[in-house]
Amino acid sequence: MTGQDPEIDLTLAEVRSIGASLSPWAHLASVGGDGEPDVVPVHPCWEDDVIWVMIGRDSVKARNLAHENRVALHWQVDEKGDGLEVWGDASLHDDPDTKRRLWSGVFDYDLNLFAPGGPDASPDTVFMRIEPSRAMWMKAYGMGGVRRWRRNRLRS
Amino acid sequence: MENNDGVELDVIKSDSRRYGPFAYVATTGSNGEPHVAPVAVNWIDDDVVAFVLASSRKVRNVRENPRATVHFAVGEATGWDSCIVWGEASIVDDTSGRVALWDRMGYDLRAFEPGGPESDNHVFLVVKPVRAVVLRAYGMAGRQSWKRS
C-alpha cells in the first residue's frame, strides 16, 4: 500500500538506494536569516533513515541552521538526467560520542583526510544530521516521470 | 595558495565555463524552505540565465523571493573546485523577452519547447550577480572573489 496519496510511491529505502546509484555527491541548499539561499556540494552518508554530512563549524550552512533548520539536497544528476531531491530537517551535532560513532563505520570515506585531529581533536568539525521529510526522484529531468516519498505516510 | 579578492566578473565568468553547462540553483519560497535543482545555464552578457518550466518550483520561489544562488557542477575533472554566484533573480515570461533570449542559450531550446518563444510553458530564469566566488579544492587551495560595486 502507498497510503492515501497515489503520488507517494517510493519507500525511504528506495530513496536511499536511488541516491547511492546516482552519485556520492549532492548539492545542499540552506537559507540564511536574511532569506538568501546558499548551495554547496557535500558528500552525504546514510545511517539507517538519517543523512549525515561532515561540515565546518563556521561554514555558511552551519550558521544558516541557526535561522532555518530546513534544508534540501539534490544528488548530482547522472548522464541520463536522473536526479533526486530530498528535503529534511537538519541539526548540528558535535558531542564526542556522536563524532566517534560517525567517524568509524558510517561514512564511506576517510574523515581524517579533512580533519586530521580525529573525532577528539577536531573542534572545527561538526556533523549535520538531516531527517528526511520528503523526496522526489525525477527521471530525465522529470520528462521521464516523477516518483515521490513523504514521511508520515502508511509506507515509510 | 592564491587568495585574490576583487577580481573582475569576467574572471568568474571565464572560470565558470570549466564546469560545463550544468549548475545547481538554490531558491527559497515565501515559506522559507530551500529548494535546489539542476539547470543548464549560460552567461548572457553579465547574467546567468536558465531556460526552465514556467510551472517549476524554482520559478514560483523566485516570484516570491527574488534571490537565487548558482553553484556550477563540481567534479574530479575540475579538481573539486567550486564556482558560486549569488544574485538577484527574475523571471522573463513575456514573448518579447523570450524572443530576445531564445537564440542565446547555446543549445536548441526547441528540443525542450517545440512551441518556440511564444509558448508560455517555459520561461527564462535570470540571475543578476551580486557576488561570486571561486574556491580551489573546497577553498583549501585558494579563492577568488567578486562583489558588485
Per cent of chain A over pLDDT 90 is 83
Indicate the average pLDDT of chain B. 94
Inter-chain CB proximity B86 and A36 less than 8 Å: yes
Inter-chain CB proximity B74 and A25 less than 8 Å: yes
Min distance A83 CA to chain B CA atoms (Å): 8
Inter-chain CB proximity B33 and A83 less than 8 Å: no
Using DSSP, how many helices (H) and how many strands (E) does chain A show?
A: 3, 8
Around Cβ A123, how many Cβ atoms within 10 Å?
10
Q: Classify residue A2: in a domain, yes or no.
A: no
Instruction: Report how many domains make up chain A.
Output: 1
- pLDDT for the residue numbered A143: 84
What sign for the dihedral angle of Cα A102, A108, A11, A62? positive
For residue A65, give the H/E element and its range: none
**CA-to-CA distance for A137 and A123, rounded, in angstroms?**
36
Q: Classify residue A108: in a domain, yes or no.
A: yes
State the CATH number of the domain containing residue A129. Answer: 2.30.110.10
Q: Classify residue A4: in a domain, yes or no.
A: no
For residue A117, give its domain range: 12-150
Q: Which domains does chain B have, with CATH numbers?
A: 2-147 (2.30.110.10)
| Mean pLDDT across A33-47 | 94
Q: Classify residue A123: in a domain, yes or no.
A: yes
Q: Which residues of B touch A37 (CB under 8 A)?
A: 26-28, 34, 36, 67-69
Per-residue pLDDT reduced to its tens digit, B78-130: 988 999 999 999 999 999 999 999 999 999 999 999 999 999 999 999 999 99
Using DSSP, how many helices (H) and how many strands (E) does chain B show?
A: 3, 8
**CA-to-CA distance for B84 and B68, rounded, in angstroms?**
11
- pLDDT for the residue numbered A64: 97
- pLDDT for the residue numbered B133: 95
Q: Classify residue A51: in a domain, yes or no.
A: yes
pLDDT band at A105 (very low <50, low <70, confident <90, very high): confident
User: Which candidate from B25, B28, B74 shows the least CB-CB separation from A35?
Assistant: B28
Min distance A149 CA to chain B CA atoms (Å): 16
| Mean pLDDT across A34-56 | 95
Min distance A103 CA to chain B CA atoms (Å): 21
Per-residue pLDDT reduced to its tens digit, B53-76: 999 999 999 999 999 999 999 888
Q: Which comes out higher in pLDDT, residue B140 or B47?
A: B47
- pLDDT for the residue numbered A96: 95
Q: Classify residue A155: in a domain, yes or no.
A: no
pLDDT at A2 over 70: no
